[in-house]
Structure 1
Amino acid sequence: MAEWELRKLRILRTLRERGTVTATAEALHMTPSAVSQQLTNLAAQLGVPLLEAQGRRVRLTDAARLVLAHTEAVFEQLERADAALAAYAHGEAGEVRVGAFSTAVPALVVPAVRALRATHPGVSVRVREAEAAEAYDLLAAGDVDLALSLAAEAPSAADPRFTHVPLLADPLDVALPPDHPLARAAELTLTDLADESWIFGGSGPWSDITRRACEAAGFSPHQGHSASGWAAILAMVEAGMGVALVPRMAAGGRTGATLRELGRDRPVRHVVAAVRRGGESGRAVRRVLRTLRDTADGGAAPV
């Protein structure tokens, strides 16, 4: 098989375009003798004559034109590669793998993906639903590039493996049965609901968040029912089985329960993104992070 050298093929291509060795040398910032030497070496490597004398000038042989006809596709593909690399370097292209907890997927990740498709179609996002422990294991193993979790579930800021980026403070609203006496109250605080039957998980971070919020308001919530999924919790509230604290991201307006915003001291949960330490410098990752932050700023209270 012949030995192909792109630099020498480019010289041959330029000679076809410019017509003379001198003009080719000027275009490529070479000396005429260097151009002639490179083309002589290429002819020897390919085993065919590439130039023939035509008076004081040279012209390409049929073999040279055949060579260039086949290498045009190579030059075209290299141009595409240059363009793709330039887009990647500027954060306009690339794939970013995201691990995100269940409520963050429809509330944050999906709107961000839609926005990226419109503004940066070369950046693709591959989503994997994963709660905090799994998401950070995936991030550490290199199986995702970015993990979304609640700040309360994120590794310590002192963990040298990760860099954390605050995204939003997600307010907690109270979900009431539609016919609840306080569903239309002018103002509502957690203290007003101290005697209610509460619905929340039996353990885990959401149980802790509910208990802490109620205790901060001065009472310990009576747990009437236990559920961990938001669909189940909201269905029970709608059926009049109790009240619940619901993150605004989780409700999304798709419930028959009445959602009421609490007062100035309403509880919030903080959502963070994390990347492997140093990973935030990747252009595509930065683009996705910025879009997630823009989505968060448009949909909830920014951190």
Structure 2
Amino acid sequence: MAEYDKWDIKKLQILRTLREQGTVTATARALLLTPSAVSQQLTNLAKQLGVPLLEAQGRRVRLTDAAELVLRHAEAVFEQLERADADLTAYLQGEAGEVRVGAFSTAVPALVVPAVRALGTAHPGISVQVRESEAAEAYELLGAGSVDLALSLAAQAPSAADARFTRVPLLADPLDLALPHGHPLAAADRVRLADFAAESWIFGGSGPWSDITRAACEAAGFTPHQGHSAAGWTAILAMVEAGMGVALVPRMASVRRDGRGGVVMRELGEDRPHRHVVAAVRRGAEDAPAVGRVLDALRRVAGELGR
């Protein structure tokens, strides 16, 4: 096994400076040391390496061939240390590092992907690893340290009193009404949720989207009749296009309708409901520079969606 402890970086730096400065006195001045300290360090280095490093040349000293050989190898070490120092500085400034994000399905294309694209331009040293996961899994992963940041609906996020996590509000995502193209109110000047109390509604049989749809309709004064049940937006919008019913669709999902010309998206009036999207990190991790960069990018994308 090689004896790496004999390769003393500080002493090698002194030897390198001596080659540049030419004299022990000039070397001491450049390194803010005394001449005797420089001489002692180089003597110790020669003993550690087992080769002579200096030879007298009048009032000056000359590096031996062994010293030049040592420095040729040391230069590669110094170069790598410079790179390590630059990388560490970038990491500390939030310009480098990997951030692992767990996010629910509609948040990935609407929030996460645009944020990753923006980071790739502004902060190319930050790598984002995305994992699609629903809220329960995302927070399990976050608590276990398998992701650094989790996105979910606020209703599914841990309580603000949970000491493990810090919640960061991102977006009040408005819910739009999806109507078949031939619906009598598709071209109306304005629509209210209450106008559709007698309609057949399409939403999931259980889970957060069922709760959100029922709560929005009940706040508008009626209980929705569930004509069909579906959890995915592709299926929901296909049924709306076929005239099988109407549905509430979050703006984040409706911006990617896959070009369905048979679906009309209408903004609701004063009773427009919203769903709230939040990010969560392990408590204290919001101060990690790279995580902060990702959160900033998500906030900017969320702000654009909100407008």
Shift in Å, 1:130? 0.4
Separation of aligned partners in 1, 2:189 and 2:271: 16
Q: Deviations over 1:57-78 (max 9, x none)?
A: 1010000000000111100000
Does structure 1 retain, via aligned residues, the 8 Å contact 2:150–2:280?
yes
Secondary structure of the corresponding residue to residue 202 of structure 1: coil
Q: Please report the TM-score for the alignment, with normalisation by the length of structure 1.
A: 0.98
2:228 pairs with one of 205, 209, 225: 225
Corresponding residue of 1:67? 70
Counterpart of 1:90 in structure 2 is: 93
Partner of 1:289: 295
Match of 1:238 in 2: 241
Residues 1-10 or 205-214, more deviating = 1-10
Distance across 2 between alignment mates of 1:253 and 1:130: 19
Q: Distance in 2 between matches of 1:107 and 1:92?
A: 24
Could you tell me which of 34, 37, 47 is aligned with 1:34?
A: 37
The residue correspondences of 1:109-188 to structure 2 (distance < 5 A) are 109-188=112-191
Cα-to-partner distance string for 1:76-99 (whole Å, 9 max, x where unaligned)? 000000000000000000000000
One of 210, 215, 222 as aligned partner of 1:212: 215
Q: Secondary structure at the match of 1:291?
A: helix
* Distance in 2 of aligned mates of 1:67 and 1:264: 77
Aligned counterparts of 2:217 and 2:183: Cα–Cα separation in 1 = 19
- C-alpha separation in 2, matches of 1:222 and 1:20: 92
Mapped partners of 2:150, 2:251: distance in 1: 20
CA drift at 1:253: 4.1
Identical-pair percentage: 77
C-alpha separation between the residues in 2 aligned to 1:89 and 1:64? 36
Find the aligned partners of 1:106 and 1:235 in 2 and give their Cα distance: 19
Residue identity opposite 1:185 in structure 2: A
Q: Which runs of 4+ in 1 moved over 3 A?
A: none
For residues 5 and 241 of structure 1, what CA distance do their matches in structure 2 show?
77
Distance 1:184 1:21 in 2: 89
Aligned counterpart for 1:77 among listed residues 77, 80, 91: 80
Corresponding residue for residue 53 of structure 1: 56
**Distance in 1 between the 2:237 and 2:28 partners?**
76
TM-score for the superposition, normalised by structure 2 = 0.97
The size of the alignment, in residue pairs, is 301
| Structure 2: distance between partners of 1:265 and 1:15 | 78
SS of structure 1 residue aligned to 2:47: helix
What does residue 102 of structure 1 align with?
105
- Any gaps of 5 or more consecutive residues in structure 1? none
- TM-superposed deviation, 1:265: 2.5
Q: For residues 119-171 of structure 1, what are the alpha-carbon distances to aligned partners after superposition, in whole Å with 9 as ceiling and x for unaligned?
A: 00000100000000000000000000000000010011111100000001000
Show the counterpart of 2:268. 262
Give the partner amino acid of 1:210.
T
Alpha-carbon distance between aligned partners in 2 of 1:153 and 1:216, rounded to the nearest angstrom: 20
Deviation at 1:251, TM superposition (A): 1.5
| 2:103–2:130 contact (8 Å) kept in structure 1 | yes
Unmatched 5+ residue regions in structure 2? none
Distance 1:262 1:80 in 2: 55
